[in-house]
Chains A and B, each alone.
Chain A
């Protein structure tokens, strides 16, 4: 009896339901990481401070979980009451004991052989609500798994994967909905954002990111180009409980690198959308790159920042500009270059950078900065409410864009141009930059050995965590960018870190190579 009692004291009980109220009030449970970006604001900031700038040098590896998958791991884990939920290639999902890394359940979807992922058979993570976790699959289904067993609770078909539709994004759960955006901008899909009833899997609403005939915005597409207009929505948005609005970013128009045949602004590609969470109706939109011809998806996670009475939303965009908008109205407040850009030397009346005429791809090829991979990309940024700095991984690379017309054919690649490094003698450069959103000023930058695809975590411990392409996990001083600690994980990082605590002990976790790593104090 004594043994049993002792055992139950040592055990972490993990059976509480994750309600919408818990998601709204996630700040009250800093030990958990409940959404892709840590909270609804998108800021990827942990209020935990046990690991901090004075003891970061002591941090050690606590456990490693090998997923058995190959390829890029882009997952952001969730942690709820001692259980860590994450994903890996080919739509694997798993639940681990967050203290030890020991698996509780593992799920792998039986994917058809002819799925059409764009850029690797990747997945960026799960969402949780109630007793279920939600996964978007590479064959364009949305599925719910029982959080305790990994058993499929429901399976909803969103679109036809043979036409190039897929999901790689971590969904966002809001109220009783699992919200998700589609991938497929390389195949000429028609983008959408969906919301599914978390209990039943019934689709509650769909917002097409390319408007139907008769709808506002439809006139920004030439002829029938809207039908294959792209504008996917493959990264996780944010949610403002005060106004019940979802802010979700969209990707490139299709074909991604060729504007001929789709004259016009091509709404709502490369935009930030403010949608009513209950209905999916659009309240406002802001387009970052009009009529994009360089594959500059605007799918970077937007971060809500409140500054005095101002309700802002900021995004470090793939096109090389850092944008701050008023999230009540969608009006642009500022747009400042934060990396090497040559495509725009002037702004319109609203202050939005406008493309130079000669930035368009040509048959002979034309050099533009940033290149097709962008100044940043899917790597998650972070915002620290203490330092008031926005942290983002950046890349300085210019590309030659050369046209290569392709006819649209369902399920076939649809780019319309090729890109090459502009100068092989000039190596690409990669940075972690700390941007002051109030001014657009870069407060500090840390140069990586080569550009990285890692996201960023900031913590109340005065730390910023990130990974590099050489396999290091790195802790930097959030105020100065000074490196305080590093660990070689043996595989490149394409994921973003999180922080959590179990039994009063803080951990920091990240995926690298084909494994998930957790770190803590000795």
Chain B
């Protein structure tokens, strides 16, 4: 993976300003520039690494630019992974993290800098400040992972019935969100909440890799002109048409004005998994399974 840090037009003219603010940073930039065509390694360090003042500035930049999805303390939210984990799927080295923040991650909800609808985007220096902040709050992974992966896998495609609607690594159903990467991009708390309270956060605003629009998994119930009732999940919708899938994975393409009735609900079609249905221990196992797959 080549570094694109100093190839983007927005970086021009940033050097003098940055150099004035951080002695030695200009040299670091030159070094990075020389590295531009060389694969990034863990050695590409943040020029502001360990700078407490930069980390504080980075905390505020993080609030403005990142917290919408990753949460106020970078501990993740319904839409972005917990960044306090030392082990990161997409951005292990500082240089890779810089690249991810600058350019986003294609095929995921992670946008490129300045395109998340939250304003103007960040300068290179501000991105490095954010990386300094993230590094300052990282915690080591728990010594002993929670849950039994093998049992979780068994439950997922067996007694817990998850795979009836959810696909993982090519196996499972199509009605609910595909979950192969969910363990790497959602917090444990968010996953538990999605199982225990599926309606609280539908997959709101989530853009998935195979769709260019956010599918929200609302529950749609229609009665067609000939009296047939169909209940399922919205694939997409506008004011005049709806595309939906029912529990037998049949896709229906419907014009609203030709329907006898149309109703939409944010009560998820997914059953509420109370501890009676799925014990806390079993849920830990399922999440351990999803986390192990998501880390790949």
A residues near B, CB below 8 A?
Answer: 112-114, 116-119, 162, 186-187, 365, 402, 404-406, 411-413, 415, 417-421, 424-425, 427, 448-449, 468, 470-472, 474, 483, 486, 488
Given A449-B239, A474-B239, A420-B67 contact (CB < 8 Å): yes
Given known pairs A114-B14, A365-B72, the reply for A413 and B121 (CB within 8 Å) is yes
Assess whether A427 is in contact with B238, with CB atoms less than 8 Å apart.
no
List which B15-64 residues lie within 8 A (CB) of chain A.
17, 57, 59-61, 63-64
- Closest 4 interchain pairs by CB? A113-B9, A470-B238, A404-B60, A404-B63
Q: How far is the CB of B75 from chain A (nearest CB, A)?
A: 14
Q: What range describes how many residues of B lie at the interface? A: 35 or more
Given A402-B72, A449-B238, also A116-B64 (CB < 8 A) = no
Q: Looking at the complex, which one of B118, B201, B237 makes contact with A449 (CB distance below 8 Å)?
A: B237
Alpha-carbon distance between A23 and B273 when the two chains are bound, in angstroms? 66
The CA-CA distance from A483 to B204 in the complex, in Å, is 28
**Cβ–Cβ contact A448 & B120, under 8 A:** no
B152 on interface, CB distance cutoff 8 Å: no
B67 touches A114 (CB 8 A): no
* Residues of A close to B123: CB separation below 8 A: 412
Residues in B neighbouring A187, C-beta threshold 8 A: 120
Contact of A118 among B61, B119, B266 (CB under 8 A): B119
Chain B residue numbers with a CB within 8 Å of A119 are 117, 119-120
Q: Is B122 an interface residue (CB 8 A)?
A: yes
Q: Are B60 and A118 within 8 A (Cβ)?
A: no
- Check if A471 sits within 8 Å of B238, measured CB to CB: yes
Contacts of A405 in B (CB 8 A): 60
At the interface, yes or no: B209 with Cβ under 8 Å from chain A? Answer: no
A430 to chain B, nearest CB (A): 11
CB distance A424 to B64 under 8 Å? no
Q: How far is the CA of A412 from the CA of B123 in the complex (A)?
A: 7
Residue among A112, A418, A449, A483 facing the most chain B CB atoms (10 A cut-off): A418
Say whether, besides A413-B121, A425-B201, A427-B266, A114 and B60 are in contact (CB < 8 Å).
no
Given the known A-B contacts A113-B10, A415-B119, are A406 and B60 also in contact in the complex, defined by CB atoms under 8 Å?
yes
Contact between chains at A413 and B72 (CB < 8 Å):
no
- Closest chain B residue, CB of each to CB of A406: B60
Closest to A400 in B: B72
**A468 close to B13 (CB less than 8 A):** no
A116-B239 contact, Cβ under 8 Å, with A365-B72, A420-B67:
no
Q: Are B239 and A448 in contact (CB under 8 A)?
A: yes
Is A420 within 8 A of B204, CB to CB?
Answer: no
Whether the Cβ atoms of A162 and B13 lie closer than 8 Å is yes
Contacts of B296 in A (CB 8 A): none
CB contact list, B164-216 vs A, under 8 A: 199-202, 204-205, 216
Task: State whether A413 and B240 are in contact (beta carbons under 8 Å apart), knowing that A425-B200, A427-B204 are contacts in the complex.
Answer: no
Interface bits B61-88 vs A (CB < 8 Å: 1, else 0): 1011001100010000010000000000
Verify B9–A114 contact, CB threshold 8 A: yes
The distance in angstroms between the C-alpha atoms of A421 and B201, with both chains bound, is: 12
Q: Which residues of B contact A421 (CB under 8 A)?
A: 68
Which residues does chain A contribute within 8 Å of B63, judged by CB atoms?
402, 404, 417-418
B126: CB under 8 A from chain A?
Answer: yes
**Which listed residue, B60, B126, B204, touches A424 by the CB 8 Å rule?**
B204
Flag if B67 contacts A418 (CB, 8 Å): yes
How far is A468 from B10 in the complex, measured between Cα atoms in Å?
32
Give 9 new A-B contacts, CB below 8 A, not counting A404-B63, A449-B238: A406-B60, A406-B64, A413-B121, A425-B204, A448-B239, A468-B239, A470-B237, A472-B238, A472-B239
Which chain A residues lie closer than 8 Å to B238 at the CB level? 449, 468, 470-472, 488
Interface status of B228 (Cβ within 8 A of chain A): no
Is B12 at the interface (CB under 8 A from chain A)? yes
Q: Show 8 A/B contacts (Cβ-Cβ < 8 Å), sorted by A.
A: A405-B60, A406-B60, A424-B201, A424-B204, A424-B205, A425-B201, A472-B239, A488-B240
Q: Are B12 and A113 in contact (CB under 8 A)?
A: yes
Q: Which of A116, A404, A411, A448 has the most CB of B within 10 A?
A: A404
Instruction: Quote the shortest CB–CB distance from A115 to chain B (angstroms).
Output: 8
Give 1 or 0 for each of B97-141: 1 = CB within 8 Å of chain A CB: 000000000000000000001111111001000000000000000
A118 proximity list for chain B (CB < 8 A): 119-120
Task: Check B10 against A114 for contact (C-beta < 8 Å).
Answer: yes
- Find the B residue at minimum CB distance from A295: B119
Expressed in whole angstroms, the minimum distance between the Cβ of A310 and any Cβ of chain B is 37
In the complex, residue of chain B having the shortest beta-carbon distance to the beta carbon of A116:
B120
Report yes or no: A486 in contact with B240, Cβ–Cβ below 8 A.
yes
Q: Answer whether A413 and B120 are a contact pair too, CB < 8 Å, given A114-B10, A418-B63, A424-B78.
A: yes
B residues near A427, Cβ cutoff 8 Å? 204, 216, 266
Cα separation A402 to B62 with both chains bound (whole Å): 12
Residues of chain A contacted by B118 (CB below 8 angstroms): 418-419
B252-296 residues with Cβ-Cβ distance < 8 A to A are 266
The residue from B12, B64, B201 contacting A415, defined by CB atoms under 8 A apart: B64
Chain B residues within 8 Å of A468, by CB: 238-239
A404–B239 CB distance below 8 A: no
Q: Which of A112, A411, A418, A471 contacts B64 (CB 8 A)?
A: A418
Query: Are A117 and B120 in contact (CB-based, < 8 A)?
Result: yes
Residue numbers in A under 8 Å from B12 (CB-CB) = 112-114
Is B122 in contact with A413, judged by CB distance below 8 angstroms?
Answer: yes
Q: Which residues of B are found within 8 Å of A418, using beta-carbon distances?
A: 63-64, 67-68, 118
CB nearest neighbor in B for A414: B120
Q: Give chain B residues whose Cβ lies under 8 Å from the Cβ of A162.
A: 13
User: Most chain-A CB neighbours within 10 Å: which of B60, B68, B121?
Assistant: B60
A474–B240 alpha-carbon span in the complex (Å): 10
User: Is A486's CB under 8 angstroms from B10's CB?
Assistant: no
Q: Measured between alpha carbons, how far is A419 from B72 in the docked complex, in Å?
A: 10
